[in-house]
Structure 1
Amino acid sequence: MSLNTLPSTEPTGTRERVLVTGGAHGIGAAIAERCRQDGYIPVVLDREGEQAFHCDLSDPASTAEALERALADGPITRLVNNVGAVFPNAVSDQTLEQFDAAVALNLRSALQCIQALLPGMRQAGFGRIVNMSSRAALGKELRAAYAATKAGLIGLTRVVALEEGTHGVTANAIGPGPIATDLFMRANPAGSPKTRAIIESVPVQRMGTAEDVAHAASYLLDARSGFVTGQTLYVCGGMTAGVAGV
């Protein structure tokens, strides 16, 4: 390839599809909606949702069956591994059952979806993979299983970026900070001392929104982002500025 030749971009023709795991609620739903706005067709894998391929993403067999149905209409060259659960507990109290459940849902399902979509991406010479990590990957109390699996997603992202770059496939991670989803706000009511303390710790002095994260995903899914791969983009209002390494 010459210095002045750009690598192949996305396939042309029919509207491109984007597979979004856990896309029925919260950040996943915001990403699916942003995909619609960007002209893609979101394909959602979730336990709920009227238009989702219903499956249990913590179960390999259920996930494989849903992926087979999703791919029946042809390859999907964009993927957002968004599904996840927290399983809050201290290291001393985290049960092996909770840890295994976190690995299955937060990490194993991501690998399974990547493996299912990669053949189509390689054939097309184009792919975009976005893995939803978390600021908790840098360390957070009572998040032993969650932080471990979200850090694992960052490692997986880097390996995919290194291995698949020659096929036109990029892989990046997003690390959200405190995002005001319904689930988060139920645990942290607006105006509570705990919520005020969280906001005061954020340099931009507000909570993030699901749309903030969806905007970051939109950039990384774009065909024009082909020179960005193996990176983690923290959508955290600046909270990682004094924590994460340069």
Structure 2
Amino acid sequence: MTTATNRVAIITGAARGIGAATAQRLAADGMAVAVLDLDEPGAKAVAEQIVTAGGRALGVAVDVSDPEAVQAAVDRVAAELGAPTVLVNNAGVTRDNLLFKMTEVDWDTVMGVHLRGAFLMTRAVQKHMVEAKWGRVVSLSSTSALGNRGQLNYSTAKAGLQGFTKTLAIELGKFGVTANAIAPGFIATEMTRATADRLGVPFEDFITASAKQIPVGRVGQPEDIAHLVSFLVSEGAGFISGQVVYAAGGPKA
């Protein structure tokens, strides 16, 4: 039987936060891991940590909104680690503002990374999945997909990824490929720290206040999402596809 040790996974936006935690978790599961990020030193640092721990990893710099860069990155991964059959679309940015203050660049940047990036990465990797008759695509949505003041662009992109996921599941299912999305709630990362900074609130106070609104009484950690990714890309999750899992410490949706 094919196991995780035969799999090659690509994680985008993996130089830090959820992406880094996911790369480390999938490496611990036995997969060879490609750590993709616009931040090349950060991507290579995470890959080096995995290699030092005994895993196989490759750090690759890529702008996921650039089709030529995406194809080159996927080709390099296939050549150096093997054909990728697991893809985690995690790369993301925020450009928060209210509608009347939001610029076209704010809108286009967020759409380019989240939606265009997921499309380009999945299009490039699906060839390897279809040839293998096995694949897993997990895309990171957000509870912001339900609507969040000051995040018109981000909320729209994250909602779009849910439709993207459901359609992938329909199109690729006959090839043994599943597609699912994870919609995290509050996760303590640099991105949520930036939100606290934007609001002028100390990060620790922001975490404390947020935890009071979450049924499990704490905010999430990147590892919480990495564990869920690990399950969704496992052999045992082959009958789960087209789903959006809200990982928010309570019944968010």
Write the deviation string for residues 88-117 of structure 1: whole angstroms up to 9, x where unpaired: 011222211111111111111111111111
Q: Contact 1:177/1:239 (CA < 8 Å) preserved in 2?
A: no
User: Any gaps of 5 or more consecutive residues in structure 2?
Assistant: 48-58, 197-201
Residues 1:41 and 2:32 aligned together: yes
Match of 1:80 in 2: 88
Q: Aligned ranges for residues 8-87 of structure 1 at < 5 Å?
A: 11=2, 15-48=6-39, 49-50=43-44, 51=47, 52-73=59-80, 74-87=82-95
TM-fit CA distance, 1:13: 9.6
Write the deviation string for residues 69-94 of structure 1: whole angstroms up to 9, x where unpaired: 12224421100000001110112222
Q: Contact 1:134/1:150 (CA < 8 Å) preserved in 2?
A: yes
Q: Contact 1:77/1:117 (CA < 8 Å) preserved in 2?
A: yes
Q: Aligned ranges for residues 35-184 of structure 1 at < 5 Å?
A: 35-48=26-39, 49-50=43-44, 51=47, 52-73=59-80, 74-184=82-192
Helix, strand or coil at the partner of 2:136: strand
Match of 1:4 in 2: none
Q: Contact 1:47/1:55 (CA < 8 Å) preserved in 2?
A: yes
Instruction: Give 1 or 2: higher helix fraction.
Output: 2
Match of 1:3 in 2: none
Write the deviation string for residues 177-231 of structure 1: whole angstroms up to 9, x where unpaired: 0001244235433542x43331111111101000000011001000110110000
Helix, strand or coil at the partner of 1:129: strand
Helix, strand or coil at the partner of 1:198: helix
* 1:196 paired residue among 196, 208, 215: 208
Gap change, CA 1:206 and 1:13, over 3 Å in 2 = closer
Q: Distance in 2 between matches of 1:148 and 1:93?
A: 16
Q: Contact 2:25/2:226 (CA < 8 Å) preserved in 1?
A: yes
Q: Percent identity?
A: 39
Runs of 4+ in 1 over 4 A off after TM superposition: 11-14
Write the deviation string for residues 149-176 of structure 1: whole angstroms up to 9, x where unpaired: 1111100000000111111100000001
Q: Distance in 2 between matches of 1:72 and 1:209?
A: 33
Match of 1:6 in 2: none
Residues 1:218 and 2:230 aligned together: yes
Q: Distance in 2 between matches of 1:176 and 1:28?
A: 13
Q: Distance in 1 between matches of 2:164 and 2:25?
A: 25
Q: May I ask how many residue pairs the two structures share in their alignment?
A: 231
Letter in 1 for 2:142: S
User: Any gaps of 5 or more consecutive residues in structure 1?
Assistant: 1-8
Q: Distance in 2 between matches of 1:179 and 1:24?
A: 16
Q: Distance in 1 between matches of 2:248 and 2:66?
A: 31
Q: TM-score, normalised by structure 2?
A: 0.86
Q: Distance in 2 between matches of 1:171 and 1:187?
A: 29
Q: Distance in 2 between matches of 1:61 and 1:166?
A: 28
Q: Contact 1:17/1:41 (CA < 8 Å) preserved in 2?
A: yes
Q: Contact 1:204/1:238 (CA < 8 Å) preserved in 2?
A: yes
Q: Distance in 2 between matches of 1:12 and 1:40?
A: 9
Q: Distance in 2 between matches of 1:26 and 1:77?
A: 23
Q: Distance in 1 between matches of 2:95 and 2:194?
A: 16
Q: Contact 2:4/2:234 (CA < 8 Å) preserved in 1?
A: no
Helix, strand or coil at the partner of 2:102: coil
